[in-house]
Amino acid sequence: MRFKIVVWIWLITLLAGCVAQLPVEAPATDSATRTPTNSPSATSTVTLTPTPTSTATATPGPSLEELIGTPQYFAANADLDRASVGYSSLADLYPDRADPWLGLAGLAQRQGDTATARQYLEVAIQADPSNVAAYDQLALLLESQGLYEDVLPVYDQVIAAVPPNPDLYIARASAHARLGDADGAVADLQSAQALDPYRQFAWLNVATAASGTRKYAESIQIATAGLEVFPKSVGLHVARGMAHASLEEWELAVEDFTAAIELDPLNYVAYHWRGRALISLGHQEEALVDLKRAGELGIQTGVEGVNEGYEAMADAAALIAETNINDAFQYLADQVIQYGSQDALLVGYARIDYRRGNKDLALGRLYNLVRDGYVPAFYWRAVINAAEDNPETAIDDLTAYLAVRRSGPESEAARRLLASFGVDPDSLDVPTATPTPIIQPGEGEGGD
């Protein structure tokens, strides 16, 4: 008890110091309340009225919302020690509130101590089981470490503790998907759908989350369930097509990409990867048309689309080079004249150089791109080194590539190439994937 009184005095003293600096105005004097002068009265009668006795009432002290501003101020000014003392004191004063523990967890994370941060967040939930922010922060921390099995119980707790919330079901669905539990993911998405029917992009996010952890079959199952609810979803067709392509199910991939193009004739991703799938099926002429179209459409969109557009152009040039090296160079030269020496186009030049037998020039181009950190250059340099029987260099490049590109059709090709050298791709020390970002609706594809 004496400790709490001391803490109260310390916190109030800090606040009083701030208040003391505020200007104080003298109270205005109202003429109607001035003390009357002593004037004699003809017949004045004095009546004594007893003064009522005032009842003592407790003066309320500052609330937690007011007091927590002090450690927050210290934290904002990088005074983490004083912030920690302040949060700890408030945690003692308010044992049934989560906010002080959330503050301590934030300090621990700023210092890179995720284990302590997790402990603080777990205590915050014990202090106030209805605090959704505590669950959210704990789940985000666990997901950032790839601890999806630990995430599920967190979502189980919060879903049981608070009123039905579609966002929580979607978050748990993503955890199920990353663990390869497609049935659990679909069940949670259906629960979210029942609460809010405008959740088309939840299905896409969760299907993408499954692919992000290389659970391609589960991604296909989730996307298929989503397409039963939203049959005109371009994104779900593309996501399912990419999962099929990752599994080298090329005909099924072509079907999905074709469906996406029919719904959205401007979808450059669908054109690009339908072209890549058609190459694998031996339909080079059709593939070339798609790859060129993907390049034209991609450069008309944002940064991500522009990059994919240039990659599609490089793929088109490499395909042309299979029958005519000069035409391939001319096609790339036309693109460079119009768009400049983009990294993806330079990779295209390297691929053509190697096809015409100039290995040194091809590797020289790719060396410069690798030095500048262009990730696809690692993959294509590995392909050339593998063909030239330089396994050690190829393995290094494939390892570097997979550290960044962890899923998708080209990543699976890199893994197969790595396995051909006797290296288990799963043995690589690959960083944990970060939580899948929310995919926003694209043009022509609303939430209903």
Q: Which residues contact 54 (CB under 8 A, 6 or more apart)?
A: none
What is the per-residue pLDDT for 162? 85
What is the per-residue pLDDT for 19? 40
Q: Is the pLDDT of residue 105 over 60?
A: yes
- With a pLDDT cut of 70, the percent of the chain lying above it is 82
For the residues 48-57, what does the mean pLDDT come to?
46
| 61 pLDDT tier (thresholds 50, 70, 90) | low
What is the per-residue pLDDT for 97? 95
What mean pLDDT is reported for the chain? 86
Q: Is the pLDDT of residue 201 over 50?
A: yes
The pair of structure tokens assigned to 302 is 């944002």
* pLDDT: which is higher, 75 or 43: 75
On whether the CB atoms of residues 254 and 274 are closer than 8 A, the answer is yes
Q: Is the pLDDT of residue 1 over 70?
A: no
Find the helix or strand (DSSP H, E) in which 133 lies.
helix 132-144
Distance from C-alpha of 352 to C-alpha of 445, rounded to nearest angstrom: 38
In eight-state DSSP terms, residue 439 is: P
For 184-213, b where at least 16 C-beta lie within 10 A, e where not — what string?
Answer: bbbbbbebbbeeeeebbbbbbbbbbbbbbb
For the residues 126-143, what does the mean pLDDT come to?
92
422 Ramachandran zone, left/alpha/beta (phi>0; psi -120 to 50): left
Q: What is the chain's alpha carbon radius of gyration, rounded to the nearest angstrom?
A: 33
Domain 1-12+65-161, CATH: 1.25.40.10
> Could you give the angle at the alpha carbon of 92 between the alpha carbons of 88 and 96, nearest 5°?
115
Prediction pTM value: 0.78
**Stretch(es) of the chain classified as CATH 1.25.40.10:** 1-12+65-161, 163-249
Residue-wise pLDDT tens digits, 370-394: 999 999 999 999 999 999 999 999 9
The pair of structure tokens assigned to 36 is 């009357």
Q: Which of 89, 84, 92, 82 is nearest to 116 (CA)?
A: 84
Please name the residue that has the structure tokens 């944990």.
432
Q: Is the pLDDT of residue 7 over 70?
A: no
Residue-wise pLDDT tens digits, 309-340: 999 999 999 999 999 999 999 999 999 999 99
> Could you give the angle at the alpha carbon of 360 between the alpha carbons of 359 and 361, nearest 5°?
95
Domain 163-249, CATH: 1.25.40.10
| 252 pLDDT tier (thresholds 50, 70, 90) | very high
What is the per-residue pLDDT for 163? 87
Sign of CA dihedral 300, 306, 310, 316: negative
Residue-wise pLDDT tens digits, 146-198: 899 999 999 999 999 888 999 999 999 999 999 999 999 999 999 999 999 99
Q: Is the pLDDT of residue 343 over 70?
A: yes
Residue-wise pLDDT tens digits, 213-236: 999 999 999 999 999 999 999 999
* pLDDT: which is higher, 30 or 153: 153
* pLDDT: which is higher, 37 or 304: 304
Distance from C-alpha of 232 to C-alpha of 262, rounded to nearest angstrom: 10
What is the per-residue pLDDT for 185? 97
Distance from C-alpha of 69 to C-alpha of 62, rounded to nearest angstrom: 11
